[in-house]
């Protein structure tokens, strides 16, 4: 199993870690800490040293209630960081954006993946991905960041998320995106109540069965805080538990703020499920 991303191929025979790099002033977890290009690069270099396989660069917060930013502002935030990472570090780079203009600028700067919380629904986004040959991550979200947590409702959250992801994948294939360039993300925490998130995680094998590699992001999410009564900074252990659970159920990419402990956690799961040699190779 692999993820084809331009000239790079991400080996998914064992689980991999996607490190989160927010170059925004208002991220729910680390807003402002890495807003400067130098701070952002230093953070990326540290995550690579800790074992990140992918660095996911985002210039617009998608936290609940977040207000959007202009395309030019988002581009100015991410492009210098991506250019420096691409020049300096041997790592696969992802752009976390829903704007085709930002996607185009980021891929020109050196990004290999487009990670879109709206599943490439913006006009021209699928065609851009097909032309460029980037890897894509298609995420489910009910609503949009500003309103997504205003009473989200599902009859059957697993079935509805699955149907959405299959439709999004088919639309990408029809636009010319290669099947092995596509990864799916159920969007834990995006337009979902606590019970929806818990059900999706419990039923991950149903999503794995859709046939594309699955990315799961649970790092520091608010529902962990609700269950454990922990602040954002205190949710590491809850997130590690969920990352290990997700990998044991078939997830191949774990998106996280905390690279080193997450890598250790999923390597241990791999050692049990795939054998010691596979874990040591990662």
When pLDDT is cut at 50, 70 and 90, the band that residue 142 belongs to is confident
- Mean of pLDDT over the chain: 91
> For residue 98, is it within any domain?
yes
Residues 237-264: tens digit of each pLDDT:
999 999 999 999 999 999 999 999 999 9
Helix residue spans in 139-258 (DSSP H): 157-175, 194-202, 204-208, 222-228, 236-248
221 classed as catalytic? yes
> 102 lies in which domain range?
15-281
Torsion, Cα 132 6 258 11, to 10 degrees, reads 150
> For residue 42, is it within any domain?
yes
What's residue 152's pLDDT?
A: 79
> For residue 8, is it within any domain?
no
Q: Which region among 27-31, 80-84, 125-129, 207-211 has the lowest average model confidence (pLDDT)? A: 27-31
Per the residue annotation, which of 99, 255, 263, 267 is the catalytic one?
A: 255
| Rounded-to-integer distance, Cα 89 and Cα 142, Å | 35
> For residue 2, is it within any domain?
no
Query: How many domains does the structure of the chain reveal?
Result: 1
Per the residue annotation, which of 221, 235, 263, 267 is the catalytic one?
A: 221
CATH number of the domain encompassing residue 75: 3.20.20.20
255 classed as catalytic? yes
> For residue 153, is it within any domain?
yes
Contact between 204 and 251 (Cβ < 8 Å)? yes
> For residue 10, is it within any domain?
no
Residues 32-57: tens digit of each pLDDT:
555 678 889 999 999 999 999 999 99
Mean pLDDT along residues 92-117: 97
When pLDDT is cut at 50, 70 and 90, the band that residue 27 belongs to is low
> For residue 194, is it within any domain?
yes
For residue 7, the SS3 value is: coil
> For residue 5, is it within any domain?
no
**Residue 66 phi, psi dihedral angles, 5° rounding:** -65, 145
């Amino acid at each position: 199993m692999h993820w084809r991303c331009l000239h790079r191929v991400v080996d998914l025979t064992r689980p991999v870690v996607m490190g989160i790099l927010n170059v925004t002033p208002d991220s729910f977890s680390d807003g402002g800490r890495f807003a400067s290009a130098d701070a952002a690069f230093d953070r990326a270099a540290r995550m690579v040293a800790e074992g990140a396989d992918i660095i996911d660069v985002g210039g617009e917060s998608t936290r609940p209630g977040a207000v959007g930013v202009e395309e030019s502002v988002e581009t100015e935030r991410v492009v210098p960081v991506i250019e420096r990472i691409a020049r300096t570090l041997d790592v696969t780079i992802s752009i976390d954006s829903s704007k085709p203009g930002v996607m185009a600028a980021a891929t020109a700067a050196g990004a290999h993946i487009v990670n879109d919380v709206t599943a490439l629904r913006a006009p021209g986004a699928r065609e851009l991905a097909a032309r460029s040959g980037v890897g894509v991550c298609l995420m489910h979200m009910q609503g949009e960041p500003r309103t997504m947590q205003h009473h989200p409702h599902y009859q059957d959250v697993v079935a509805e998320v699955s149907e959405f992801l299959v439709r999004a994948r088919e639309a990408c294939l029809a636009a010319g995106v290669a099947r092995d360039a596509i990864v799916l993300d159920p969007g834990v925490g995006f337009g979902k109540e606590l019970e929806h998130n818990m059900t999706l995680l419990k039923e991950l094998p149903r999503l794995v069965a859709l046939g594309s590699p699955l990315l799961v992001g649970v790092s520091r999410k608010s529902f962990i805080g609700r269950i454990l009564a922990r602040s954002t900074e205190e949710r590491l252990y809850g997130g590690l538990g969920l990352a290990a659970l997700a990998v044991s159920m078939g997830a191949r990419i774990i998106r996280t703020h905390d690279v080193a402990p997450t890598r250790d956690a999923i390597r241990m799961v791999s050692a049990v499920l795939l054998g010691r040699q596979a874990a040591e190779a990662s």
